[in-house]
Amino acid sequence: MARVVPVHDRDDPRLVEVSGLNDAQARARTEAEHGCFVVEGLLVLEAVVLQSPYRLRSVLVSESKLQRVLDVLGDTDVDVFVGTPALLESVTGFPIHRGIIASAARIPLPSVAELLEPATRVVLVEGLNDHENMGAMFRNAAAFGVEAILLDPTAADPLYRRSVRVSMGHLLHVPWTRTDALPDGLDPLRRGGFTTVALTPAGDTSLHDLRPTDRLAWLVGAEGPGLADATMDAADIRVRIPIRSTVDSLNVATAAAIAFSHDPGR
């Protein structure tokens, strides 16, 4: 059962996991030390409670949103700290317009083999460090039935607050893990019988000409530089999305959504 706890002090030690959100370096240290991550807003809070494997650790909410939060939490065993909007801003470092901020526990990442075993459609992300694009990538994956996401060691932490918010909470139930640096990180896909398809404006095959395959892994790179040459060389197929010549490329999350939606095997 949720326990309602009024708070009045910005330095209350019980709020440490949701404090200082405007300092990226301090936030990273806090999350590493406490094994937590932060979610914001009622919709994402609901995703944690109802759709994810993550355990809710604490909630900080403004007085006006308390009842709505309690309705979502139901029988969840968690402390709900209640304060004024001014207190929330003082604790987090910026106005919390949604009036809800919460901490959830991180969980151990599955092995790549464990993640791939039941999947037929996956995406491997190389070097993506924009948190909004990361969140959009997970949301698109959920929308089009991509069953798992592999991140190379240089990709951003998907559990960063902005990524989770942009994903509308879908990031919390799409399975993901880290793979080895590319191109070696492609080896588990090869062993699993996946056809690896690199998305690149320089692709020699149009997306519309892609043939059906039982197990498919999309390879996508960071905004701007895209996939590394070694990764593209190691891919089975290099695919381009046909666009007008006056446009150089598409946003990475947009390109991925188009590719996912045109999967010939679905």
Q: Where are the alpha helices (DSSP H) in 102-239?
A: 112-116, 131-143, 161-166, 187-191, 229-234
Nearest to 40 by CA among 107, 88, 90, 111: 88
CATH number of 112-261: 3.40.1280.10
What are the DSSP E strand ranges found in 139-255? 148-151, 176-178, 195-199, 205-206, 216-221, 237-240
Q: What is the pLDDT of residues 204-233, one digit of tens each?
A: 999 999 999 999 999 999 988 899 999 999
Based on its alpha-carbon atoms, the radius of gyration of the chain, rounded to whole angstroms, reads 20
Decide: helix, strand or coil at residue 189.
Answer: helix
Overall residue count recorded for the chain in this entry = 266
Token pair recorded at residue 17: 């996991």
Amino acid at 187: D
CB 42, CB 68: distance < 8 Å:
yes
C-alpha dist (Å) from residue 266 to 189, 237, 260: 19, 18, 9
Residue 111 to residues 8, 26, 40, 81, 107, Cα–Cα distance (Å):
43, 29, 28, 36, 12
Sorted by where each begins, the domain ranges of the chain are 3-105, 112-261
pLDDT beneath 70, residues of the chain: none
| Token pair recorded at residue 95 | 């106005």
User: Looking at residue 60, what DSSP letter applies?
Assistant: E
Each residue's pLDDT tens digit, 12-28: 999 999 999 998 888 99
For residues 142 and 255, the answer to whether their CB atoms sit within 8 Å is: no
pLDDT at 1: 85
Instruction: Report the predicted TM-score, pTM, of the whole model to 2 decimal places.
Output: 0.94
Q: What confidence score (pLDDT) does residue 73 get?
A: 97
112-261 and 3-105 share a CATH fold:
no
Distance of CA 234 to the CA centre of its chain: 26
Pick the CATH number of 3-105 from 3.40.50.720, 3.30.70.260, 3.20.10.10, 3.30.1330.30: 3.30.1330.30
User: Cα–Cα distance between 140 and 160 in angstroms, integer?
Assistant: 17
Find where tokens 């590394």 sit.
228
Q: Which of 200, 257, 195, 205 is nearest to 228 (CA)?
A: 200
pLDDT at position 249:
85
CA distance 38 to 40: 7
Query: In the prediction, which pLDDT does 263 show?
Result: 87
Name beta bridge partners: 103: 38, 58
